[in-house]
Every structure is written in C-alpha cells, then in structure tokens.
Amino acid sequence: MTERPGQAGDATGGSAPATPVCYRHADRETYVRCTRCDRPICPECMRDASVGHQCPECVNEGRRSVRPARTAFGGGAAGRRGLVTRTLIALNLLMMVLSVASDGGGDSMAGGGLGGLLGGGTPLTQWGAVLAEWPPQFPVEGIVTGEWYRLVTAMFLHYGLVHLLLNMWALWVLGRDLEALLGPLRFLALYLVAGLGGNVAAYLFSSPNSASAGASTAIFGLFAAVFVLMRRLGRDTSAIVPILVINLIFTFTVPGISIPGHVGGLVTGAAMGWVLAYAPRMRRSVFQSVGTAIILVALLGLALVRTAALTG
C-alpha cells in the first residue's frame, strides 16, 4: 500500500502537525478545548462547566445571558446574606458609641447617667432627635429652623443601651427574613421610608419642644410590612398579630414612648408593604418606585404643613 507524503505513517516526507497553544497564552501548549467555542485553553483559562471546560469569555457571555434570580417581590437573591440588616445594626451601634462619647463620659441629660448608657439624652441626641423647636428661653433650634436632617438622624439614635438593644434585637429578627424576601434595595427602602414616616408623625402630633428618637419607628414599619407580605403570599399571620398587639399595648401604656412615632411608622410600613407586595408583575419595578415616591412626597407635604402651622 502506497502512502502519500504528510499522512500518518509517513516516515520520510511529511511534517508532524503543530501542537495547539492556548488562545490567550501563546507560549502554553494544550490539547484541551472550550466546549462552547472550541478554542484551545490552558489550565489557567479553564472554567468548569456542566460538561468539560469553557474559556473565560464564554463563561462571561453565559452569565450575561442568564437572568439573575429574583424573589417573589422582584428583589435580588443577595438579600439572603442579610448585609443590609447587619449594616443597619452596625450603624446604630456606632451612633450609640458616638452618643456616649459626645457626653464626655459624664452624666447624661434628663438624669440618665454614664454618658447616656443608662438612658437620657446626650449632646448627640439633642442634635439629631425629632424636635420642632426649643422653648423661647433656649437658643432656637429644631426642624422649624431648617434642621430637616432630624427626620432621618432620629431613627439611628437611642436613649440608653436598653432602648438600643431592644430595637436591634427586633431588627435582627425581622430584618433578615424581610431582606431575603424583598432583596437588599427594597428592604432598605422599606426601612428608611417607614422610619421617616414615624418621625414625620412625631413631628406632626408631638409637642413642639418634645424630642424623640429611636429605630422603633422603622421597626414598627417592618412589623406592618411582614403582615402585608405574608398575607400577599397566602401564609399564616396568626403569630404576627399578637406581637403587634403587645407592642402597641406597650406603646400606649409605658410613659416616655412616642405614640405618634410608633403609629406613624406602623402606618407607613403598611403602605410601603402594600406597594412592594401588590405591584403588577409586568411593571413591578416601575410601580414600586412610583409608589415609594408618592409616599415620600406625601410625608414631605405633611412636614411642610406642620412647619407652616408652627411658623405662621
């Protein structure tokens, strides 16, 4: 049998075919090919696939073409890690440390003691709590003088360590499940808007020279949102109602608690929960964004009305 030059078995005429090299590293020989594009890839460029290996470009292209996982309410799956909940708790703890430091380690205002750890106000809580205005004999300060930041900062300040720990325990219990259900961004929006709603209610219905602070405005909003979301999913809410009732009883019977703040946070959280839970599937993100914006505008309008009434 006569063999042609270059064919297998030719000992004299043909040259052996060149060894393939990695398409990204020309100095590395390899016989492994990407199962998607068939280009040679070296061990450094191999990415495990369901069958064989793929090159980095094919892996990235595949990730772009795969729709990311979403929760029942349109949020990202990253919420399962609870990073927003942990961050909010850390921020509240940091503000407590700063509050104690602002008192210089001395007795806090209103007879708390130990720089605010046992309760009472500190210079930081005086600066950031919800407050319409001080009485005339004090230097004028408060929301009516343009200190609108108080409607936000108040939800991160607390009167004493017990006040802080109770709220952070509730945030830890509620926050992780809600964040996993809603996703990080939607959960953060719920928390902040509910806290803002409670602070606006405290501004509307409290005495002008009465200060209030605490994360409980947002916490009550989380309670209401849990109830709305569970109803939307058709799940049992019998365990939530007694907790809500007990917290409301404490709100109305324990002295020193801001009733408008708690109730305002509850109502705002319920409104946000409805917006997030009942958004139409086809236009979910748009509906949720517009609904949140409407709630924010309504809260701002109420605060402006209160300011006009106090300054008019």
Active site residue 53: no
Active site residue 163: no
Catalytic residue among 108, 212, 216, 258: 216
Spell out the long-range contacts of 112-119 with Cβ–Cβ below 8 A and sequence spacing 24 or more: 112/159, 112/160, 116/159, 116/160, 117/160, 117/161, 118/160, 118/161, 119/159, 119/160, 119/162, 119/163
Catalytic residue among 53, 158, 163, 262: 262
Instruction: Indicate the burial class of 195 (C-beta count within 10 angstroms; 0-12, 13-18, 19 or more).
Output: buried
130, β-bridge pairs: 212
User: Which residues have a catalytic role annotated?
Assistant: 216, 262
